[in-house]
A and B are shown apart, each in its own frame.
Chain A
Amino acid sequence: MSTPPPLLLVRDLRVEFHTGLEVVHAVNGATFRIPAGETAALLGESGCGKSVTAASIMRLLPQPPARIAGGAIHFDGEDVLAMSPRDWRRVAGRRIGMVFQDALSSLNPVFSVGWQIAETFRVHGVGTVAGRRARAIDLLDRVGIPAASRRYGDYPHQFSGGMRQRVMIAMAVALGPRLLIADEPTTALDVTIQAQIMDLLEGLRAESGMAMLLITHDLGVVSEVAARVAVMYAGRVVESGPTAEVLRSPAHPYTLALLRSVPTGRSRAQKLRPILGSPPDLAHMPRGCAFHPRCEFARDECLHAAPPSHAAGSGNAGPRRTVECHFPLESLHDRPG
């Protein structure tokens, strides 16, 4: 098989937080990959390790208390975790960009937005002062800020939430990265703006051919833009595959439960079914399958043994679908693909 290596490969990543009294296992062997130019989503409820995974890729975790206990992160064939801080700074911002959830606190309140975008170029030693300014105005224009040259000197507090997120996106794509990590980019925004921001992100991605890792708990957003989805639970990727396929026929009970807890809007009579209980305490994980206390299909085996991983098909760089469950809802091997 001559498949190209994926742009981003996260293999068996383990991240722990040492609190002094106990060890919190935030990520417990997460594995996923993103081929170049593709949009992948990391889906899961709060506290399942999505953001910690993203922070690990960007080497943003404060160590201590965090510790990367195992696994590997490869970007473009290079081992991210083994890079020297100096080498890493050439990757961060230049080849991987990141957009955060809360755009107001992600912008420095004492500098104008234009200055902050231009700063991205300055940090990486690109262009002259005038050239950086022109490129920053151009970027503001590209992310849809009206009258960009006049808004250059405005401060973050003079922008609305949506426009601040546009500014953050401008900073993240300023140097034409090959991968954009968007950590819940629309969570802090209202619904109409959410759609605009997702359109903008998707447009920029298609235009530049970069890949995107979208971290979200919003199924609607996932189904709209992501080619592949990885569902996370308690620090593991419990199911992954092409978005349409996973959402149409989920193989993991957790994915099914997530789908059922979202209103479809088709019929009024359909009752929403929330997932009972809450995610496990990551300092005291249940034995066996981490989802068994909340799983309606749980049997004895689930209480004692960690679920095996089933894989099916081979897509571009890796198995087409994977699921970690003793009793997957869909027999993956039955499907052609």
Chain B
Amino acid sequence: MSPPAALDSAPGAGPESVAIRRRLPLWRLLARDRFALLACLWLLLLLLCVAVGPELLGKSATTLDLRARNTPPGTLDRGWLTILGTDALGRSMLARLVVAARNTLLVAVSAVIIALVVGGLLGMIAGYVGGRTGNLIMRASDVLQSFPSLLTAVVVLYVLEPRVANLVLVLAVTRLPVYVRVARAEVLEIRERLFVQASRALGGGRRHILRRHIAPIVVPTLLTILTVEFAVVMLAESSLSFLGIGIQPPEITWGLMVAQGRNHLSVAWWLAFFPGLAIMLAAMSANLLSSWLRTVSDPTQRWRLEAPRKGG
């Protein structure tokens, strides 16, 4: 279970009986987990696209070439930009994917982060304080959850202006209940644990216990949910964009590309396939990386990555 150095030394045993555990630096641990490494590289690439994509390929993404409509992927006849084919107006798929990364990821990332922070806080308060405050939070969350989230979004965005900020807000609010419920459930269990009692016996106040003892255990769980929600939010954004109340063309997102490509699915599968693949890979990478992060940040699990691998 635990490393041999954790054995109780006999009284009087010298310090030489205590083994020194080396801690590997983070990047070495990342290099040891192949999937996490790939996920990390992919996310870094996406980050690069977000940072400089539109500046670099913005022009190619909007240049029409009606003679090259629906070019299938895999040919370099018209230059490397058409390696992933072209869309119904002859625009480079690759360039459009790169350019769309910024909108897609900014909307999705900010929406899930806002949802996590707000939902997590509300859930922790509901779980720890309980009583009337807790009930109020939970019932509000129930109301939010019992409403079809798409309907909420449609109504809100119809009333408000369909701007990016509003879109982010709507996506965040409709995804709140998941975090509230999970955070509350976790807190209900953790607050009964003995170390919380011990902390109270040592004079720790409510806020101290929430911050120092409960949050560090709840947050990794919420982060895992976040990575799953990441894909859900990207798809929700695409539905809204498809309905014309999300991102407005000529701005593009992966979700919007999937939605538009659906019409041509029988003649040009790549129009919907590549943006769909991008969404899936981004979500999966986030998931893999978060599960690695969870292992690394859990002191009782970290050894799994530090231990030498079987068969070298």
Contacts and interface: CB of A to CB of B under 8 A. Distances in A.
**Most-contacted residue by chain A among B7, B11, B199, B208 (CB, 10 A):** B199
B17 A146 contact: yes
Interface string A103-124: 0011111111000000110011
Contact of B5 (A89, A158, A171): A158
A150 B201 contact: no
Given A123-B203, A146-B18, A193-B8, A100 B198 contact: yes
Interface residues of A, number: 44
Nearest to B208: A123
Interface of B: 1-3, 5-9, 11, 13-15, 17-18, 20-21, 193-195, 197-205, 208, 212-213, 216-217, 298-300
Interface in A175-210: 193, 196
B18 A93 contact: no
Contact of A157 (B14, B204, B300): B300
Given A109-B300, A111-B216, A157-B300, A151 B18 contact: yes
Interface string A71-88: 000000000000001000
Nearest to A158: B6
A198 B200 CA distance: 24
A92 B200 contact: yes
16 contacts: A58-B201, A92-B201, A93-B204, A105-B195, A106-B194, A107-B195, A107-B198, A108-B195, A111-B212, A124-B203, A144-B11, A150-B15, A157-B1, A158-B2, A158-B3, A168-B198
A160 interface: yes
Contacts, number: 103
Contacts of A246: none
Interface of A: 58, 60, 85, 89-94, 97-98, 100, 102, 105-112, 119-120, 123-124, 144, 146-147, 150-151, 154-155, 157-163, 168, 171-172, 193, 196
Nearest to A119: B212
B17 A157 contact: no
Nearest to B220: A110
Contact of B8 (A93, A162, A168): A162
Contact of A147 (B15, B195, B300): B15
A107 B197 CA distance: 10
B201 A98 contact: yes
Given A146-B9, A158-B6, A92 B197 contact: no
